[in-house]
Amino acid sequence: MAHPAQHEQHQQHTGHEGHEHHAGHGGHEHAGHAGHHGHSRAGHAGHGAAHGVGGASWRTAAQATLHCLTGCAIGEVLGMVLGTAFGLHNGATVVLSVLLAFVFGYALTMRGVQKAGLDVGAAVKVALAADTVSILVMELIDNSVMMTVPGAMDAGLGDLLFWFALAGSLVLAFALTVPVNKWMIGRGRGHAVVHAHHQH
């Protein structure tokens, strides 16, 4: 025959075990729930870091600007060379250089997106959307420097002043256009249009 005190102790022990089991189970659920939230927060943080503040990295902006600078430099140098060779006035030489910079800048972009499968009409639209602002900024800076440096526009092709001024103007144009391209790409404009077609 069980003693009443033993029976009461057994009930207390059973209740204590049940309580510990419930507490353990609740702790496990809570830990899992917290882990899930931690994973979600980490995932969102990683997702934001991948895109970066502003949506575009400096490297991407620099690559886009370098692409634009290549076309601009070809047109700029060719315009200056032709203007000097034909004895054009400074104003006419600048206009010719700017026109050729746009032609070669657009041509390089069109060549790239046509390789991705776009036809000529679509490639023209992409080039206009991608490069117009960038080339405008670059040409404004570039030609302002050339016009400002004393004797640069009047120097001949064999004069080092001409080439040093032109090289310096292109470097400055690149440095000041990179932030513009970063801002535009981060908002889905400029060379972001070109990148979208290359991804497809």
* Stated pTM of the model: 0.65
- Angle at which helix 120-148 crosses helix 58-85, to 10 degrees, equals 70
DSSP 51-67: H-GGGS-HHHHHHHHHH
Residues of the chain with pLDDT under 70: 1-55, 190-200
C-beta separation of 134 from 180 below 8 A: yes
Quote the DSSP letter at residue 150. Answer: T
Q: For 145-157, how does the pLDDT look when each residue is reduced to its tens digit (9 = 90+)?
A: 988 999 988 887 7
pLDDT above 90 as % of the chain: 26
Task: Please list, in sequence order, all residues whose beta carbon lies within 8 angstroms of the beta carbon of residue 106, skipping any fewer than 6 positions away.
Answer: 71, 124, 127, 128, 131
Domain ranges of the chain: 1-51, 54-199
